[in-house]
A and B are shown apart, each in its own frame.
Chain A
């Protein structure tokens, strides 16, 4: 597809990118030729997928296994009241096509496990993690490390969020350099107990979409090596360094994890499809 001219429709649709220094026609062409997988069509996945669709990412994959619940609508802006009870993937695809009918949107209505994660990720250049649980987070980290795909990470709790970019490579950090193993289940409060400020995933998901677009266009500096911390109550941003850990179980000098692991799910999510 590279080198193709823009259609008249594309020139209009992407005009504000095409005239923008640091994106331009070349950057927009890269977006049209790119493929991105968004894991989760929830709080984070909503703004991620909506902005990537609007930006003209040529192929956008959406993974989720859940159905839209009324309690999701306070923050999951991809879904509407009429979608309650529908599969999130089905609802997401319909709304993303309404935003931009000229891109390819692909649904993966499934939980991710060691058995399917490589196949689901295979067609995509960039992986964006909008998941809400540790088992999938570690699975996606390890799978992107094993396949060398860039991973845009985001995470939220109550009023606080985190985001960064992990670029697999020699002596570059991964999520396990930050947190080598999932916390023991006893230390984790239940999902319902936690609560989440509705706008928070909008802020963090938008940052993730920003980073995914920059990875594709290749311009600007991403959050690689930096963990961005956001506190909505304080309205403060903070950055801390993420260093490659030579003892990392996945990307360290002597890896101890060389295969995907299905961690036991907690927080009400089954470990296996029932």
Chain B
């Protein structure tokens, strides 16, 4: 998948709770032409990192928001949203101060 010439390299901004999967890094690179590909690539690089981002049926959990740059991907194309070189994908769990969703 990573060798596909149409794949774009994007930055993925990780919330604190997911950084342990990525050696503590706040931002990592991933590749793909769509958000689904990017998350797939992320999972292949850092196994377990998308476990609580994607639901069992493969959709996005509703207590986690994913943004392409500053737009919620639900208002774009959800997991089929196309990404481009230089885009930033941000994963944002619901946070309540001392408790939050997305225990990885």
Interface of A toward B, CB cutoff 8 Å: 43-44, 131-134, 137, 155-160, 162, 178-184, 187-191, 194, 196, 201, 227, 229, 231, 233-234, 238-243, 266-267
Contact = CB atoms under 8 A, between A and B. Distances in A.
Nearest to B15: A160
Contacts of A160: 15-16, 95
A237 to B, nearest CB: 12
B95 to A, nearest CB: 5
A187 B98 contact: no
A131 B96 contact: yes
Interface stretch (B1-9, B31-39, B40-48, B67-75): B67-75
Nearest to A155: B95
Contacts of B94: 134, 178-179, 182-183
The CB with the most chain A CB atoms within 10 A, among B61, B67, B93, B101, is that of: B101
17 contacts: A132-B96, A133-B99, A134-B96, A156-B95, A157-B16, A158-B17, A178-B94, A179-B65, A182-B63, A187-B52, A194-B100, A238-B70, A238-B90, A240-B65, A240-B67, A240-B70, A266-B99
B10 to A, nearest CB: 15
Contacts of B98: 132-133, 156-157, 191, 194, 196, 267
Given A187-B52, A194-B100, A231-B26, A241 B70 contact: yes
A160 B14 CA distance: 11
Nearest to A233: B26
Nearest to A40: B97
B71 A187 contact: no
Given A191-B99, A229-B90, 9 more contacts: A157-B15, A157-B100, A180-B62, A182-B63, A184-B63, A194-B99, A233-B16, A242-B72, A267-B98
Contacts of A155: 95-97
B19 to A, nearest CB: 9
Interface residues of B, number: 28
Contact of B100 (A159, A189, A238): A189
A169 to B, nearest CB: 20
Given A182-B63, A240-B90, A131 B97 contact: yes
Contacts of B93: 183
A131 B98 CA distance: 10
Contacts of A238: 13, 70, 90
B54 interface: no
Given A155-B96, A160-B16, A240-B70, A187 B101 contact: yes
Given A132-B97, A156-B95, A181 B63 contact: yes
A112 to B, nearest CB: 14
A137 B102 CA distance: 17
Contacts of A243: 72, 75
B65 A178 contact: yes
Interface string B74-104: 0100000000000000101111111111110
Contacts of A266: 99
